[in-house]
Chains A and B, each alone.
Chain A
Amino acid sequence: MIRITRKVEFSAAHFYHNPKFSAEENQRVFGKCSNTHGHGHNYTLEVTIAGEPDPATGMVLDLKELKDILQREVVERMDHRHLNHEVPELAGKIPTCENVAAVIWNLLEPKISHGKLDRVRLYESEDLFADCTAEENGLKQ
């Protein structure tokens, strides 16, 4: 089996606020991230597809096709957007790195025509990233 990874970047705004919490609780739990005006990040997304290369093309999945899927499903949805207000898939969820990565996984998984989605790694900054991995693979990659 071969794994291929494509990287893409997008920039977006977000904040953390749970309407079930009091103002004090929101401040205590979410700290600086609770400023309801929002703040932003340059996100880097790495998407890994696992599979056997097609003998006719030598490819697991045409990277051009993967690039188009990432553009359509992620970049057009999230780039230069406010994740709390403009991304319906995140409605009712706190747009943490974990939740944004999981939403991206769910958007991409049904679109992968060859090979299987193996890992979604979303960097919120150089020092923080969330991984979604296929259940059977865990971190052993």
Chain B
Amino acid sequence: MRISLTRRYHFAASHRLHSADLSMAENERIYGKCNSPYGHGHNYAVEVTITGPVDPDTGMIANLGDLDPFVQREVIEAFDYKYLNEDVPEFQSMVPTTENVCREIHCRLTKFSPARIERVRIEETSKNSFEYTGE
């Protein structure tokens, strides 16, 4: 049996799906409403799953007192109430689809030293979710 712990976080942000490599017509055809020029927004929910041995002294894989401020600093402060395309440097050259947001969040969190980040799962809406395990 293996154990993991998952914590859910929330942020609200706007984005626009638009690729500089595509023509206006192609952008509109591929991204549809999501290409609307001024952007639109979502309430994102982010699930961060950690694994590793449970420390017998604390009963924990990692202390939420360490994980919460780390995720807050690395992700929430950078993404919450922001326009992803302009306010997050990585998305100035990468379309902020939730696939890419998922990978970017995973990348930012791999520096967390007390445990391994096993999975990042994002709900963009209650109907769409995306997962990245680093593979």
Residues of A within 8 A of B (CB): 16, 18, 20-21, 29-31, 93-99, 101-102, 105, 109, 126-135, 138-139
Contacts and interface: CB of A to CB of B under 8 A. Distances in A.
Contacts of B113: none
29 contacts: A16-B58, A18-B58, A29-B58, A29-B63, A30-B58, A94-B59, A96-B54, A96-B58, A96-B59, A96-B60, A97-B5, A98-B3, A98-B54, A98-B61, A129-B5, A130-B4, A130-B5, A131-B3, A131-B5, A131-B6, A132-B1, A132-B3, A133-B1, A133-B2, A133-B4, A138-B2, A139-B4, A139-B49, A139-B119
Interface in B44-59: 49, 54, 57-59
Contacts of A109: 1
Nearest to A139: B119
Interface of B: 1-9, 49, 54, 57-61, 63-65, 118-119, 133
Contacts of B1: 102, 105, 109, 132-135
Contact of A101 (B3, B8, B49, B60): B3
Given A16-B58, A29-B65, A138-B2, 15 more contacts: A21-B57, A95-B59, A96-B58, A98-B3, A98-B54, A99-B59, A101-B3, A102-B1, A128-B5, A130-B5, A131-B5, A131-B6, A133-B4, A139-B49, A139-B119
Nearest to B65: A31
Nearest to A134: B1
B7 A127 contact: yes
Contacts of B58: 16, 18, 29-30, 94, 96
